[in-house]
Structure 1
Amino acid sequence: MSTKSLFYIPPIFQAFSELIAAQSTRHGGVSQSPYHSLNLGGSTQDDPEAVLENKRLFYESLGIKESQVASSHQVHGTEIFITNQPGREQGHDAVITNQAGVMALVTIADCTPILVYDARTQVVAAIHAGWRGTVAGIVAKTLKTMQQTYGTQPEDCYAWVGTCIDECSFEVGSDVSDHFADRFKRWDESRQKFFVDLKAANAYPLQSFGIPDSQIEISPYSTVLHNEDYFSHRLEKGITGRMVAVIGRK
């Protein structure tokens, strides 16, 4: 990726000219340190005017307007917002739409964003999966909802597991690790801690649903290891900006 771009476009979606799909970076905005510079999080202590300008710059760079966005105040749960129009809800961690011109959006700062496109029915989904949402099955629930509501079939889906905190940085105690299957965690004897792989844990339900491996992509980037390009809530001890992941048809 260009280290100064306002967003990263997942290669898996680049073949679909009708699609807008991206995750924001921390570049190209107007916020001052420690929110420098493209902080898109309204719940931070950043200057609200700076956040508004950042949003304008980000959406303009994608060729869309904030008034096209469908999102929700996220609660690390498994509730899903199904909509055919823009707007902001409360208490959902996934957004699904089949309406052209409506952009499904989630906010992240270490949690995993997952974007899904059903190329046949032209349904899109944006999912926010922290560790709680991951173990509660937010990805599988979203895919099942797409199937029940729109007739989505696995072979028609393309999915991206986005930039989040990587396994080597996500050190947790047993209060968290006990919720994860062995294949998604690693015991570190020297640290006496587990390390959890959120990317693998969220790719697994995509594979289990039946989406071909060739149609699933996992971000090579990390909010911690590539902190110069992405915000990390954990690394920056909570005093940092927020990113978004967005997907929708033009």
Structure 2
Amino acid sequence: MKILKQSVCFRSPSIFEVFPMLIAAESTRHGGISQFPYASLNLGLSSGDEKEAIHENRRVFFESLGILPEQFAASHQVHGNQVRIVTQAERTEGYDALVTNVPGVFVGVTVADCTPILIYDAKQQAVGAAHAGWRGTVAEIVIKTLETMQQAYGTQPSDCYAYVGTCIDECAFEVGEEVAVHFDEDFKRFDSSSGKFLVDLKKANASQLVSCGVPLDQIEVSPYSTVTHNEDYFSYRLEKGKTGRMLAVIGMK
């Protein structure tokens, strides 16, 4: 991935680099003050870490992007497919995607293996952020996000640019048949050595974007993995639940 902008605590997708009024980034695990096992830039409010450390980490992260924590809208995620239309900075419950067309309001999702997807409608000036674990992927949270943007803002998928972010990679996401059965053959393979299926969440979510009409050359997929690149990202599965969380954020200045 060509990096437009990078600091110790975030990477920005290159797909958005031609839009100077847009801020989009996903955090790394570096640059914060949290102690083991949350070291160090833990941004997850429900992770079990010290609240003071989390709030300081968020201040550092948002400051590095040139925005304030008070400009951020988020939701407690539930692995569903509900999408919230946001008009102001807030914290809500029960939504796994947020969309807005308000400049100065930034939406985002918390992840530590699940897939973050960031969407920008360059014509109608609207953005969306979605959280897609395997349940959200099966429930087509990405499609629901684009449909909500279309209904609320007149978004056409052909005008959208999207980033499928860092998550657990296919070679590490082992699941049983009870999970694999929900995925098309294109997005899973059986590993005879482990007796498990391996599911590709990035490919599945990118395919949903394409199926809606987002041009393939307007989609970027992160080359990073929370497991393979665990030195830079938190992985809930690899670290057995005791770890921090990243944020993927998007919005217009």
2:33 is matched with: 30
Whole-angstrom CA distance in 2 between matches of 1:44 and 1:142:
26
1:95-244, aligned counterparts within 5 Å? 95-244=98-247
DSSP-derived class of the 2:98 partner: strand
DSSP-derived class of the 1:114 partner: strand
Kept in 2, the 8 Å contact 1:6–1:38? The answer is yes
Whole-angstrom CA distance in 2 between matches of 1:203 and 1:221:
15
Identify which of 80, 83, 86 aligns with 1:77.
80
Deviations 1:208-247 (A, max 9, x none): 1111111000000000000000000000000000001000
Change (3 A) 1:4 1:11: closer
Kept in 1, the 8 Å contact 2:6–2:12? The answer is no
Deviations 1:132-189 (A, max 9, x none): 0000111011111111111111221000000000000000001110111111001011
Instruction: Report the CA distance between 1:87 and its aligned residue.
Output: 0.4
1:56 is matched with: 59
1:43 is matched with: 46
Kept in 2, the 8 Å contact 1:4–1:27? The answer is no
Instruction: Report the CA distance between 1:4 and its aligned residue.
Output: 6.6
RMSD: 1.2
Give identity over the alignment, percent: 64
Range that drifts further, 54-63 or 44-53: 44-53
DSSP-derived class of the 1:199 partner: helix
Whole-angstrom CA distance in 2 between matches of 1:9 and 1:100:
19
Whole-angstrom CA distance in 1 between matches of 2:239 and 2:75:
24
Deviations 1:39-64 (A, max 9, x none): 00111221111111101100100000
TM-score by length of 1: 0.98
Kept in 1, the 8 Å contact 2:100–2:107? The answer is yes
Range that drifts further, 44-53 or 177-186: 44-53
Aligned length: 250
2:155 partner letter = T
DSSP-derived class of the 1:164 partner: coil
TM-score by length of 2: 0.97
1:115 partner letter = L
Structure 2 residue 25 is matched with structure 1 residue 14? no
- 4+ residue stretches of structure 1 with deviation over 3 A? 1-4
Unpaired segments ≥5 residues, structure 1: none
Kept in 2, the 8 Å contact 1:31–1:50? The answer is yes
Kept in 1, the 8 Å contact 2:117–2:164? The answer is yes
DSSP-derived class of the 1:125 partner: strand
